[in-house]
Chains A and B, each alone.
Chain A
């Protein structure tokens, strides 16, 4: 058993638990603090679950989706985005994007799991969900499709990751394709969960499903650059010529996608100010309670600063890229928050002109909600840091770990294994054939 585990980890180029033993104390402390935060988040979340969420959460009857849904959206948007960006390489054959595939797919799975951790503490009866989603599905519900498709998406991504490790490129490509299709379907359904609610003019319409897909791609580009540059700080050896080329390509794509989102945001604002109920929301973003969120985090940290820094970095100043994308991740979180909360702050009876609905509704995240959101985010951070060490920086290119009978594929940069009496050229063809 141990023997076969060792064989598998050699075959997949893993360092396993041993890598953690060799890690520096600072690194272990960082991982430990994320683990502690996750445990604390889970404990606080469970406390909330036991005493009843309505006692400890800041959400109300009118604003029933709070920071937890925002954090969930943030996680699944990033997950889908990582899938989209990585698919440019290993599904559609964009060669420059290939080296990031393994890290992107791994992080995509992790972000999805982090999202599930968060939604677990948002849904009041998560255990019923597992039962009644299956035996009593409502096919007209976006929520049902979103949950179901994201479940399928996670399965495809896990299988894809397995085939990536196994160097079975044709099957990993097939799974990556299915994962991409299902992921986009799931993610646009998430947009439609918001976009198909009649009573919420800020959300209603086809804008959100479309915006979510582009926004996901942008988040994906940002996230993969951030985690790659962070990994480069941890282990400079992961950066090689192929990876540098990949970073440059992703940097270009992300610059394009940030511009797209700026375009989307401008039109959201401009169209919003001609509709009365939307204007209230837009004005609270532009000059009201959410102005700091909007201008400082969403616009400056989420769009303008990274756009400037990424252009300045020319795709090869990794320190600059790390700062740009790291701050951008924070900005993107607020971007999600600025969709979820303001969409609910105009009462459905506002148009009736009644006293109860004149003012915009307020929401402040409670301690319990913040901790439950931090649970998901720290699970992601912990898994990232653990993964970088244990999975050997998601690379197979280091010569010393090329196992017996393997070689580095000039096409994809990964290790391929030769069959009996096969040349490297034949092996490359075999690994990259499309069914």
Chain B
């Protein structure tokens, strides 16, 4: 097969004046799109922003979060040691009966891995932006809080049909006989946040910082910083359900995360030297 021989040294410069504005714009757009996909793509499919705002495109994404404060939790999975202090704190704070739970820690076991044999995954209500439970409830007993985005319960309206329990793709709900209604995590709104606290019971009880609670619309907030970084993958559970969850997961044990939290930029370190 023959290729056309082009001698770049003798090639005549056509000049930029022949390139139309439209063509230039398309070229720039292409570049932006590629950069955008690589830079923002990681959060693209995961973050619960409406529209297509991403960290790479400028700061307008802050306004794109539908709630303010937009409460969210980042779970740094590798830091979880399954001490269950969060579960106990939740039970105590929210008077959760023994037969139920609002949050729990799941265990995933591995074989043949060099570094770890087990991984702990804390789960709780994902406070989805498109919450299936809110759609399924016949009486609006469960609803999305207009201000904070917390999925809350108005217990007196709950008829106990349990559709929400089955609609929830995160198994975050149970029927509480004491409340005569379905009960679920409300980010401790009733017991803590509405009384002026800034942390949920579980995140403040966590000794390792595996659970970090905060406001996604505040660029100085830890949750914001953890979600809007590129070094470490951030994911959500069951993204295929399209529920736009607000609980983000990451491994969270890398140096880069500490750097971000300390306000530093990414630094290279040579593993051979350390």
Contact = CB atoms under 8 A, between A and B. Distances in A.
Interface of A: 52-54, 59, 61-62, 64-65, 123-126, 128-129, 132-133, 136-138, 140-144, 147, 193, 196-200, 344, 347-349, 351-357
B141 A132 contact: yes
A122 to B, nearest CB: 8
B163 A354 contact: no
B237 interface: yes
Contacts of B141: 132, 136
A124 B180 contact: yes
B166 A133 contact: no
B123 interface: yes
A57 to B, nearest CB: 10
Give the bracket for the number of chain B residues in contact with chain A.
Answer: 35 or more
Contact of B163 (A137, A140, A193, A344): A193
A133 B138 contact: yes
Interface stretch (B21-29, B50-58, B169-177, B257-265): B169-177
25 contacts: A52-B177, A62-B171, A64-B165, A64-B166, A65-B162, A124-B160, A124-B161, A125-B158, A128-B139, A128-B160, A129-B138, A129-B139, A129-B161, A133-B139, A136-B140, A136-B141, A138-B138, A141-B136, A141-B138, A143-B136, A144-B138, A193-B136, A193-B163, A200-B166, A348-B169
A138 B133 CA distance: 12
Interface string B130-152: 00100111111100000000000
Contacts of A348: 168-171, 238
Nearest to B157: A132
B241 A198 contact: yes
B139 A199 contact: no
Given A64-B165, A65-B166, A132-B159, A198 B132 contact: yes
Contacts, number: 132
Contacts of A347: 171
A54 B177 contact: yes
Contact of B167 (A54, A62, A132, A198): A198
A344 B166 contact: yes
- Complex A-B, nearest 4 residue pairs according to Cβ-Cβ distance, in ascending order: A124-B160, A199-B169, A144-B138, A132-B139
B156 A128 contact: yes
With most chain A CB atoms within 10 A of its CB, the pick from B100, B123, B159, B162 is B159
Q: Could you tell me the dominant secondary structure of chain A's interface residues? A: loop
A64 B138 CA distance: 17
A48 B126 CA distance: 33
Given A198-B167, A198-B243, A356 B139 contact: no
B174 A61 contact: yes
Nearest to A142: B136
A137 to B, nearest CB: 7
A352 B139 contact: no
Contact of A144 (B109, B139, B237, B243): B139
Contacts of B109: 355
Contacts of A344: 166
A199 B132 contact: yes
With most chain B CB atoms within 10 A of its CB, the pick from A137, A198, A200, A347 is A198
A144 B137 CA distance: 8
B238 A351 contact: yes
B108 interface: yes
